[in-house]
Amino acid sequence: MDIDAERLKVVGGFAQRMVEAKGSPFKVVLTLDQREAVKGASYVTTQLRVGHMEARRKDEYLGLRHGLIGQETTGVGGMGKALRTIPIILKIAQDMQELAAPGAMLVNFTNPSGLVTQALTKYAAETPAVGVCNAPITAKMMILEKLTKVMGKEIDPSRTELKTLGLNHLSWHRGFTVDGEDVWPQVIAEFIKELKAEEHPEWDPRTIETLRMIPNYYLQYFYYTDHKLKLQESWPPSRADEVIEIEKVLLKEYADPNLKEPPADLMKRGGAYYSTVATQLLNAHYNDLGETHIVNIKNNGAVKEWPANWVLEIPSTVRRSGIMPHPDRAAAASLFRADRAGQILRTADGGCRRPWRPRGCLSGFAGKPP
């Protein structure tokens, strides 16, 4: 479903060709009518951008003009996008109550996923909803790549589990198991080793040595604010400028009647593996597999130190009866101690080490100390 007829024709036609090329295991139906799209649905996935990419571009440059981070989820752009998006998502949830199958689940991909899911739990609680992001799956793939290097053998992802916690795009990866065995010491050691070997690492190695966790990439906007603001000064192009050009190329490729597989240029767009995340989650829910997936879900006491109504990005068990976050009694305390240690380290250094130079010290995690 799309409200842009031409875009629907191009992208929808490409989707239909891909399904046909796989033997048509299901049918792709196109519509411009949102209410028609959710009618009778058991699952509704939302991935939309109110105001199109030009709205993101304006958000980014708004941040630039005022010396703020303009990024679309963690900066001022994230708030702007939330204000535009949440009313639309709530309307979809309302329509689902009226038209979708009983108990239909809304699976939200739309950024800022955490804020959108928080709004759904507060203002559309009667509609089962969960937020998803590709950051956990890409982190898991990165970690598996490092473990393969350390252990000298491939590891089946189904044997592994990533422990992560925080808010969407503001989370810390803090554990990893293979067949239930903790291998995090090997993971973090290899990560630090690689950072030290790079001329311009994405993280200050001393930050990771102190945290003993791997922060979500987007936390760089908080750890290294001044560095990120400096990068904004080199615009154009901003990320939105880049994506506008990438999408022009993609739409031309999608319009090719002979194209039946995702083109290589799609990886330039960002949001890699969203389709994998979506299909694995829906499969686990529909078939009552009891698998662990990292999702954005209401805390509900899983982390007792934090408010029960917070939406967290947290490992959760997915069953047909619902999605339940894993209780984690030590999580809040460990995040607080690691964050505090980072502040002390930076104070001892007289500020942060180049080239990162955050604005002040590490921002404290929004939780209560143990």
Buried b (16+ CB within 10 A) or exposed e, 286-325: eeeeebebbbbbbbeebbebbeeebbbbbbbebeeeebeb
| Dist. CA 159–CA 89, nearest whole Å | 35
Note the maximum CA span of the chain.
Answer: 63
Active-site residue 273, yes or no? no
Which of 173, 214, 247, 221 minimizes the C-alpha distance to 72? 221
Question: Which two structure tokens, joined as six digits, stand for 366?
Answer: 């929004």
Q: Measuring CA to CA, which residue among 181, 128, 188, 126 is closest to residue 155?
A: 181
- 8 A C-beta contact, residue 92 and residue 34: yes
Q: Supply 173's token pair.
A: 């990866």
- 182 DSSP β-pair partners: 177
Over its C-alpha atoms, the chain yields an Rg (Å, rounded) of 21
Beta strands in 151-195 (DSSP E): 160-167, 170-178, 181-182
Instruction: From residue 215, give the alpha-carbon distance in Å to each of 57, 160, 191, 258.
Output: 26, 19, 12, 42
Query: Choosing from 61, 123, 217, 218, which is the catalytic residue?
Result: 218
DSSP letter string over 131-147? E--SHHHHHHHHHHHHH
CB contact at 8 A, 68 and 76: yes
**Residue partners of 159: CB distance under 8 A and separation at least 6:** 178, 179
d(CA 168, CA 171): 6
3-state secondary structure of 224: coil
246: nearest Cα among 256, 257, 235, 254 = 254
Residue type, 329: R
Residues with active-site annotation:
218
